[in-house]
Amino acid sequence: QVQLVESGGGLVQAGDSLRLSCAASGLTFTQYTMGWFRQAPGNEREFVAHINWNGKVTHQADSMQDRFTISRDNAKNTVYLEMNKLKPEDSAVYYCAASSESGYSTVRNYDYWGQGTQVTVSS
């Protein structure tokens, strides 16, 4: 059974950094594009970043591309999200997701989801 387990969230101050991890199991990791999404209370789940199977192609949401970096380690079946210069508006539950397709930034194109990890940024 496919499992995606996020970790690394927490409470930080504005300007600080966090590194989120997502450990995948139950799937052939290199066959999937991996993505990060986030959802704040009352908001739709929004795209953050995705990375292709070998880590050579990445895409980040325009509002985050200068601060957030996605990466993956296929030997560990793990995808990461490095978040720098965090802002209060970054506060959300961050979700890891896997897609059998490539190049998509929308929720509906992802097949598997983790339970999420809370990131709270105080001012």
pLDDT digits (tens, 9 = 90+) for 80-96: 999 999 999 999 999 99
In tens, the pLDDT along 26-71 reads 999 999 999 999 999 999 999 999 999 999 999 999 988 899 999 9
pLDDT, mean of residues 67-78 = 98
Q: Is the pLDDT of residue 103 over 80?
A: no
Which pLDDT score, from 0 to 100, does residue 8 have?
Answer: 98
Which pLDDT score, from 0 to 100, does residue 73 have?
Answer: 98
Q: What is the DSSP string of the chain?
A: --EEEEE--EEEETT--EEEEEEEESS-GGGSEEEEEEE-TTS--EEEEEE-TTSS-EEE-TTTTTTEEEEEEGGGTEEEEEE-S--GGG-EEEEEEEESSSS--SGGG--EE---EEEEEE-
C-beta atoms surrounding 25 within 10 Å: 11
